[in-house]
Amino acid sequence: MSSSEPARGRAERDRLAQADRFVARIVAVCRRDTGAGQAIRSAVGRTPAEAVRAHRYVARHIREMPAQAEEWAHYSVAGLVALYDPRAKPAKDHLVTDGQSVEEAAALTWGERLYGRNLGGVLAALDAPGVRGEDDPEGPSARRLQSLAREDLTGLHTTLPGLLRRVASGRLLPDWAVLLHDLSGWDRDQARDAAALRWSTAYYTHLARTVRTGSEK
């Protein structure tokens, strides 16, 4: 193990912990105030400047002078949490999902979360039921994931809501903190490419494992 690994691990854990706190705050305010949830949901598909109604609930939870990608990531994820996460809705509106609980997230290492609970992993879970008996399986979400990985910042946030709508229709949820982590660096080539590679790796690895396990039953 290189001397940089412990430092990287601490940095990634800290970033995920900050992202977890942000998601928890959004969930809490949505549960308390239906109007707040509606305002935060209005951020989906909009730039931060356009998401005026969400400013009251999101802006103060972002560090001062964030990069454009980081700021937009917080608004998009906040809106998606408010829209799809059952914890962010009144109890009567809760849905049963295969999403990850806070307790489950806490039990995983930063590497398990970043490399296993990312957007590619959840899309693999969505596709798996329709894929059978292939050595190198690929489902319908693969092209969408590849296309998303090539988008610029505007294209990313324009395309992402439709992809998450498909995920939610399958009663699935991503690890929101991991999604926030991955989107926040989209304006930096190295960070964007690393996130895209993690998504692709998780997609094909999880899909192949699920299909293989299903064929063995």
Rounded to an integer, the average pLDDT of 129-138 is 85
Q: What is the pLDDT of residue 110?
A: 85
Give the lowest-confidence range in 71-85, 86-100, 159-173. 86-100
Residue ranges making up the domain that contains 188: 4-216
Q: Does residue 92 register a pLDDT over 60? A: no
pLDDT band, residue 25 (cuts 50/70/90) = very high
DSSP string of 144-182, one letter each residue: HHHHHHT--HHHHHHHHHHHHHHHHHTT----HHHHHHH
Total structural domains within the chain: 1
Site of tokens 């937009």: 72
Q: What is the pTM of this model?
A: 0.88
- 153: tokens are 């910042």
Using one digit for the tens of pLDDT, what is the confidence trace for 139-176?
999 999 999 999 999 999 999 999 999 999 999 999 99
- CA-CA-CA-CA torsion for 137, 141, 147, 149, nearest 10 degrees? -80
Q: What is the pLDDT of residue 104?
A: 56
Q: Does residue 3 register a pLDDT over 60? A: no
More confident residue, 210 or 86: 86
CATH number, residue 179 = 1.10.520.40
**Total count of residues recorded for the chain:** 217
